[in-house]
Amino acid sequence: MANTDTPDIIYTKVDEAPELASASLLPVIRRFAAAAGITVETRDISLAGRILAAFPDHLTEDQRQPDDLKALGEIVKTPAANVIKLPNISASEPQLVAAIRELQGQGYALPDYPFDPRTEDEKAIRARYDAIKGSAVNPVLREGNSDRRAAPAVKKFAQANPHRMGDWSKDSKTRVATMGADDFFSNEKSVTLSEATGARIVLETEGGETVLKDGLSYPAGTVVDATYMSARALDAFLAEEIEKTKAEGILFSLHMKATMMKVSDPIIFGHAVRQFLAPVFEQYGDEMKSLGVSPNAGLGDLLERVKDRKDILQAIDACMADRPAMYMVNSDKGITNLHVPSDVIIDASMPALIRGGGKGWGPDNKEHDAVCVIPDSSYAPVYDETIRFFKEHGKLDPATAGTVQNIGLMAQKAEEYGSHPTTFEIPQAGTVKMILDDGTVLHEHKVAPGDIWRSASARKAPIEDWVQLAIARQKETGYRAIFWLDESRAHDAELIAYVKPALEAAGVADRFEIMAPREATRASLETITKGESTIAITGNVLRDYLTDLFPILELATSAKMLSIVKLMQGGGLFETGAGGSAPKHVQQLQEENHLRWDSLGEFCALGESLKFLAQTHDNARARVLGEAVEAATQGILDHGRSPSRKVGEPDNRDSHYWFARYWAEALAAQTDDAALAGEFAPVAKALAEGEAQIVAELAAAQGSPADTGGYYHPDDDKLASVMRPSATLNAIIG
């Protein structure tokens, strides 16, 4: 039952389409949960909420809000944690700036984002804002490792109703381009610390020593990496690929993760913008800088800042005409792959292109083969091998394909996704050193101006927990199980030194394979093509990439994945899928009052959360509710009640009506708890009898623009009005 310190279930308040959907779904969840004495509360981890929490000194008392992310970060370290986490914005700089402007327009006296901080005050403001960027949320909440898989009902439905896949041609020109030298992969060094220590990172130059980062602390057994990417090599690679792509007559595309890798990838993105417009920057670089142009912000921001300079615009047009055609994010609106760093996210963009037969949309609004530029070669081989496999064998058949589950190492800011505080763009030539408290130089690299240097780490306890989680999942399923680790990569070699003894100690070494990502990709594709299944046991970035790649191929979407984080202190975090397409969904709602966001991921997470609550709180009613959620989810799939993409057809709000109805019907029909059956029988009856009226009221809401009072910070009353337009349904649910 309810815990006095922590709500039974915490449902996160987030951004964009998932948050719009919550305004419709959460009242249903609360109504049903109350019947079992279960408290469901929200905590605000939205981008706007995080901004407001960071600047209480700039707000009136009634505008201030608590730092819910910080509080949640403590809750997930307790056995009582039961959190349903929806996808939140991992903010790029343009998104952060847009959210600040919206909040300022709503009357919040927030300071402007200092692009070029000069004073100490500006530097302090910039530091506060920068802490909100990128993957600020996930590392705080993920105090456990990841168990992601397709729910059985979802996989079964996908096989019975296979989605359309683009045809692959053996002579497709689509390919992956990666540096292969002088990048993060090739320059990586890694050591496992034998004892706990502090450390600092310094840059030694002819002019002396600059401390880049001080006060680092690592427990014994931590794997600590350091590496860098050469700016000169990156520029040469990009310039060469632009020319090669033009000669091949196909689309140029860049695939990055500027949202999660919030320091390194925006810089790399900026290099691509600069190289693509190299003649323009050579001629007008200083003038554009004086206009506030930063290549890292993308081509869209650049064009906005030079819109009054016809000479620069003409130079850009001439340059673009001489370049290869570019992969488009929105060809109707002229938004290219280089417009906004957060518009093209590799884990969504690459699977979409692969699912489409290797085709991307060009500026002519037609599909073409494309060069997929992934500068760092750490994970590019996964996509390269996938493309090679489908060129050889043709497209995957979702009707017969097996599944790839994932066990991912991500707890306690593991690996690259925890590297933001220790990533630096090098200001001048010298040597970067990582120096331990006793004076030992752990890592060092000679660097040049503009190089991107970073350090990442993975702690002993999360690594050991990850291996045990993999052993448990393999035992439960009997599936082929592969650790995606490359013994020739410095970091992976250190992990293998943990993995092999742990498998041997458990007596299960014969049930697991260890393969480099390229070989593991082919092995997994061969396995699922035969209709069999496999478990990919991976590090943090591959967890992110693969749990989009394989679900998009198998299910057409990654939003329907079951994502369970078994928190290391005994709690549970239930994640609800990907939000990569959420901005397009919001745009459609604003224009047509149709929300095509599919809440199936939320349904799956809710069922798991309730069953977990039953187990941890000895709440039999929570188990009955959870099993009924599973029946309702199956009903949504079996009866085709998921949202349609087109205005005038059923949308997210309709699917919530059907979910509530199937949930109530399942509770009314079950025999484990007569009181629950008695309570929900009249609810089920009312929902069934009100079907025609409810469906008509939901349909009548569509077609006209919808005003939610804000994109990043909607008005609660306006949002409720938009997302709960059926008076009949509202009267039944309350």
Residue 230 identity: S
**Residue 373 placed within a domain:** yes
Residue appearing with tokens 């899928």: 577
Query: Among the residues of 401-539, which ranges form H helices?
Result: 460-477, 490-505, 517-529
Q: What is the extent of the structural domain holding 281?
A: 230-390
**Residue 102 placed within a domain:** no
Task: Give the residues across from 59 on adjacent strands.
Answer: none
DSSP letter for 332, please. Answer: G
Provide CB contacts within 8 A for 401, sequence distance 6+: 159, 528, 529, 531, 553, 554
**Residue 549 placed within a domain:** no
SS3 label, residue 372: strand
For residue 154, what pLDDT is reported? 87
CA distances from 240 to 122, 243, 318, 324 (A): 39, 5, 19, 12
Find the helix packing angle between 120-130 and 47-54, rounded to 10°.
Answer: 150
Q: Within 10 Å of residue 496's Cβ, how many Cβ atoms?
A: 16
Q: Measured between alpha carbons, how far is 734 from 730 in angstroms, rounded to an integer?
A: 5
Q: Which helix (H) or strand (E) holds 286?
A: helix 278-290
Q: Measured between alpha carbons, how far is 283 from 175 in angstroms, rounded to an integer?
A: 32
Give the strand pairing for 480-484 and 359-361: unpaired
Residues in the chain: 734
SS3 label, residue 295: helix
Residue 673 identity: D
Q: Retrieve residue 694's tokens.
A: 């409810």
Residue 245 identity: T
**Residue 319 placed within a domain:** yes
Q: Retrieve residue 248's tokens.
A: 């091949």
444 — phi, psi (to 5°)? -150, 145
Q: For 615-630, give one letter per residue: b (16+ CB within 10 A) or e.
A: ebbebebbbbbbbbbb
| pLDDT tens by residue, 404-450 | 999 999 999 999 988 989 999 999 999 999 999 999 999 999 999 99
Strands (E) located in 21-143: 40-44, 82-85
Q: Retrieve residue 123's tokens.
A: 């530097």
For residue 550, what pLDDT is reported? 96
**Residue 266 placed within a domain:** yes
Q: For 7-19, give one letter per residue: b (16+ CB within 10 A) or e.
A: bbbbbbbbbbbbb
What sign does the dihedral 444-446-450-452 (CA atoms) show? negative
**Residue 520 placed within a domain:** no
Q: Which helix (H) or strand (E) holds 366?
A: none
Low-confidence ranges of the chain (pLDDT < 50): 1-4
**Residue 59 placed within a domain:** no
Domain count, the chain: 1
For residue 578, what pLDDT is reported? 64
Q: Which helix (H) or strand (E) holds 306?
A: none
For residue 1, what pLDDT is reported? 33
Q: Measured between alpha carbons, how far is 37 from 42 in angstroms, rounded to an integer?
A: 17
Residue appearing with tokens 């202190």: 569
| Cα-Cα end-to-end distance for the chain | 22
**Residue 684 placed within a domain:** no
- Confirm if 677 and 658 have CB atoms less than 8 A apart: no
| pLDDT tens by residue, 78-121 | 999 999 999 898 888 889 999 999 999 999 999 999 988 999 99
Q: For 599-612, give one letter per residue: b (16+ CB within 10 A) or e.
A: bbbbbbbbbbbbbb
DSSP letter for 479, please. Answer: -
Q: Measured between alpha carbons, how far is 190 from 225 in angstroms, rounded to an integer?
A: 4
Provide CB contacts within 8 A for 124, sequence distance 6+: none
Q: Which helix (H) or strand (E) holds 336?
A: strand 335-336
Q: Measured between alpha carbons, how far is 88 from 577 in angstroms, rounded to an integer?
A: 10
